[in-house]
Amino acid sequence: MTYPDATYLAEKGEVSAVLRASDAPPELRIGGRTNVHYLATGATTDGHFGLYRWEMGAQQTGGSPHFHRTFSESFFVLDGKVDLFDGDSWATRSPGDFLYAPPGGVHAFRNADGPATMLVLFAPGAPREPYFEELAEIVRTGRELSAEEWTELYGRHDQFMV
């Protein structure tokens, strides 16, 4: 493994770092059950990665087993208990536990027992915000989708259910 080709070629560094305060409000609320903080998006990292803080409330919520073709997804548990699926089995995980799912790797998550928080990393920085915002809208409006509509939604966002 070697360093990638340089993308910054100037002789001196520049003032370009971006700070996000820990008390910044979430960018997205999903059905009063989940708060999503867009710490860094693919757009803000020039496509290198996306990083979210995912805060789940007391009611169980999360994703069903799926995979992606164009990006990896990683989960790092910060608080509470999170059930993580590694493509083979579910396991309840605690703060400090980590799951990496490469492209094609089946994975899923849900809060195991009460509130839980984790970091979710996408690499490279796929445009996941529209997907989660559309899910939030579906929850908010109570709209019911047919199986075909769910398949179309997932397909637009590189999400393949298993």
What percent of the chain shows pLDDT beyond 70? 100
Q: Count CB-CB contacts under 10 A for residue 32.
A: 10
Q: Where are the alpha helices (DSSP H) in the chain?
A: 129-141, 147-156
Angle formed at CA 41 by CA 35 and CA 42, multiple of 5 degrees = 145
Beta bridge partners of 55: 35, 117
At residue 112 the predicted structure's pLDDT band, cuts being 50, 70 and 90, is confident
> What is the arithmetic mean of pLDDT over 117-141?
96
- All residues at 6 or more sequence positions from 84 whose CB lies less than 8 Å from its CB, including other chains: 75, 77, 90, 91, 93, 97, 99, 107, 108, 109
Domain ranges for the chain = 28-161
> What is the arithmetic mean of pLDDT over 110-120?
95
Fold (CATH) for 28-161: Jelly Rolls (2.60.120)
At residue 152 the predicted structure's pLDDT band, cuts being 50, 70 and 90, is very high
Instruction: State the pTM of this model.
Output: 0.94
Report pLDDT for 57: 96
Q: Pairing between strand 90-93 and 28-30?
A: unpaired
